Structure 1
Amino acid sequence: MPEVVISEFMDEAAVGMISARHDTLYDPELVDRPDDLAAAVQSARALVVRNRTKVTAALLEASATLQCVGRLGVGLDNIDLDACKARGVAVYPATGANDVAVAEYVVTAALMLLRGAYTAPEDVASGAWPRQRLMAGGEAMDKRLGLVGYGAIARQAAKRARVLGFSIAAFDPFLPEGDPAFEGCERLELADLLKTSDVVSLHVPLTEKTRHMIDAGAIAGMKRGAILINTARGGVIDEAALAEALTSGALGGAALDVFETEPLTAEAGAKFSGIANLILTPHIAGLTAESNVRVSSVTAENVLKHLEKTA
């Protein structure tokens, strides 16, 4: 029986780091076979997951030997932290390893949606030449990027956006007044940030307090024609209210990398059908070739250190 179970995809070199020292089961499809997963962890000391594997109390109870969970990423809403704490199971997120990838996604999406010039390749190729329709896009210069949550990823996005001419504002009630992170960034309450920002990017975990924090009322308080970007967690936005605001023109565009239903089904995605000023991606903002190597390496190191410490 394996000591380490890896239930989702991981860089092969990092898998090799672990398997060289411990009996390892690497099966990226195990996440879709919950019964097999429960059986696999029975005698495991470590479990490595991404965001799709649900580390529930029931899964933890299936193993009397599990000591740690390595998270290939930073979000922990798929892991029952209270249950892990109760059973003495340590949880290791890959803090910082995909910050650059997400920050680049945010800035790229902001530029694409502000400019609005990248959505008609078929029209151009067919000879329609939609110059009049695509020539009125906006620039980053002198626009405001408002960041809801001002942790490490948001700060990386701010760093890159400043170079392009954005001014930066942030809302984060968990950072104290005078925190040095706010140097070069205006600290605002949420309502003021929404009201004055040309681009709003979300960087908060999904909790009972943040669920649907961007609802119809919050969207109504945003600057008309503003751009909304979500690389955090899908439940932070009321998707039906967002779709309505995009259709009506109240918002100028949106980019969603995360959804209330994941993987997004055809039924859940139907609300977005026909909306042109919208970028939809399948929860990959933090996934690049480079970030996968970093995330996998950090996770492998965390798991190996824990196992060696408790041997």
Structure 2
Amino acid sequence: MTLRVLAAGDHFVAPALFDEALRSELGDGHDLDVGHLTAGWPAEPFGPVGAEGSRVEEASGTEDELVAALEGRRVCLTQMAPFTARVFDACPELGMVAVCRGGPVNVDLDAADRAGVAVAQAPGRNAAAAAEFAVGMMLAALRRIPLADAELRAGRWRGDFYEYSEAGLELDGATVGLVGYGAIGRIVARVLRAFGATVLVADPYTDAETARTDGVELVELAELLPRSGVVSLHARLTDETRGIIDADAIARMPDGAVLVNTARGGLMDYEVLPEALRSGRLGGLALDVYDVEPPPDDWPLHAAPNVVATPHLAGATRQTAHRAARIAAGEVARFVRGEALAHPANATGKEVGS
């Protein structure tokens, strides 16, 4: 029997990567019909898709093109396709969606359960890439590497950067606070300890034994902030974590501390950042995510001192794309064989293989 699949990729995790990974996971014993659909991301920014009440976030493409491409398909592998209630209602033959992201924010999970569609996700797919990038952002901010590069390229030899008041700071001997300690945070901690940093962790879902094993100190956020010369965010965005770094939190950090956010823009209050930088409360700011993406032309942080800013690309490595496709394909293979999913994202997904 032919398994009809849609590989709904984009210009990062291309449909061909899904196709190749799925054929490798299933082997030669399966008759596959794999259709391809390519969304516009990242050239076209992701965003909310769908009507009020069934809107999904961080999606790319349209409901209409997805419904058309899913006709007669049993399974879909995707990263950004907008799986709204309307899509599920229009695709009764669909049985499983494998989303190659750490969280399926582009899927209405309640609608998937109502339709009896299993949803899987891919935690950790970009953990190595995002962790390496976060450490790179710390170094860039502490040592002012982007500014030094820009000045030299503009024809200015900034010897004054060697003056004591302008000199950078080292990670060796520094205390770094990690807010959130999932797959990414644990890799960041390992790298920081190799640099010689002391690592504090604030995460209500981390236990003391894990912290001891990893060589980090588990503390409350209220203690982490005043002790950390660098604070790096690695938490998921939830109702509990939204806006946790606000004016009060920054006021509790040491003068001149560096703040790094490569996780989610909603974790921070961006309006307070320009003044914190100008006053010296913050000595540096490194951002890969924003409250509005992309930031507007009149973004106040464009003119603020000691800012390192990149366009939400911490996870952008070729290894991440291949790893994401492999994890999603592995989940589809389990679904086809009737095995329990390794990373179910909804109630229906948890029932597979039970």
> CA offset at residue 134 of structure 1?
5.2
> CA offset at residue 239 of structure 1?
1.5
Alignment of 1:170 onto 2:172: no
In the alignment, the residues of structure 2 paired with residue 90 and residue 195 of structure 1 have an alpha-carbon distance, to the nearest angstrom, of 44
Alignment of 1:230 onto 2:261: yes
1:211 maps to a residue whose letter is R
Deviations 1:47-105 (A, max 9, x none): 3333x544333333332222222222213333333333343332222222321111111
Question: Of residues 44, 60, 63 in structure 2, which corresponds to 1:34?
Answer: 63
Distance 1:266 1:96, change over 3 A: same
Question: Of residues 275, 279, 285 in structure 1, which corresponds to 2:314?
Answer: 285
In the alignment, the residues of structure 2 paired with residue 306 and residue 41 of structure 1 have an alpha-carbon distance, to the nearest angstrom, of 18
Distance 1:153 1:116, change over 3 A: same
> CA offset at residue 126 of structure 1?
5.1
Please show how residues 48-67 of structure 1 align to structure 2 within 5 Å: 48-50=77-79, 52-67=80-95
Alignment of 1:204 onto 2:235: yes
Q: Which residue of 2 is the match for residue 25 of structure 1? A: 36
Deviates more, 1:245-254 or 1:36-45: 36-45
TM (norm. structure 2) is 0.78
2:306 maps to a residue whose letter is N
Q: What SS is found at the alignment partner of 1:21? A: strand
2:314 maps to a residue whose letter is A
Question: Of residues 108, 116, 139 in structure 2, which corresponds to 1:88?
Answer: 116
> CA offset at residue 204 of structure 1?
1.4
What value does the CA root-mean-square deviation take over the aligned residues? 2.6
Question: Of residues 14, 20, 31 in structure 1, which corresponds to 2:18?
Answer: 14
> CA offset at residue 110 of structure 1?
0.7
In the alignment, the residues of structure 2 paired with residue 223 and residue 77 of structure 1 have an alpha-carbon distance, to the nearest angstrom, of 35
Contact map agreement 1:5 1:41 (CA 8 A) in 2: no
Distance 1:283 1:47, change over 3 A: farther
Contact map agreement 2:92 2:115 (CA 8 A) in 1: no
Identity of aligned residues (%): 35
In the alignment, the residues of structure 1 paired with residue 67 and residue 278 of structure 2 have an alpha-carbon distance, to the nearest angstrom, of 44
Please show how residues 227-266 of structure 1 align to structure 2 within 5 Å: 227-262=258-293, 264-266=294-296
In the alignment, the residues of structure 2 paired with residue 57 and residue 194 of structure 1 have an alpha-carbon distance, to the nearest angstrom, of 42
Q: What SS is found at the alignment partner of 2:98? A: strand
Could you tell me which runs of 5 or more consecutive residues in structure 1 were left unpaired when the two chains were aligned: none
Deviations 1:210-250 (A, max 9, x none): 11111122122222211112222211111112233223321
Distance 1:243 1:308, change over 3 A: farther
Deviates more, 1:167-176 or 1:274-283: 274-283
In the alignment, the residues of structure 2 paired with residue 243 and residue 213 of structure 1 have an alpha-carbon distance, to the nearest angstrom, of 17
Q: Which residue of 2 is the match for residue 153 of structure 1? A: 184
Q: What SS is found at the alignment partner of 1:285? A: coil
Q: What SS is found at the alignment partner of 1:146? A: strand
Question: Of residues 107, 112, 119 in structure 1, which corresponds to 2:135?
Answer: 107
Distance 1:182 1:59, change over 3 A: farther
In the alignment, the residues of structure 1 paired with residue 63 and residue 217 of structure 2 have an alpha-carbon distance, to the nearest angstrom, of 46
Moved over 6 A (4+): none
- What is the count of residue pairs matched by the alignment? 307
Distance 1:160 1:25, change over 3 A: same
Alignment of 1:186 onto 2:226: no
Distance 1:29 1:171, change over 3 A: same
Contact map agreement 1:117 1:134 (CA 8 A) in 2: no
In the alignment, the residues of structure 2 paired with residue 140 and residue 180 of structure 1 have an alpha-carbon distance, to the nearest angstrom, of 20
Q: What SS is found at the alignment partner of 1:121? A: helix
Q: Which residue of 1 is the match for residue 347 of structure 2? A: none
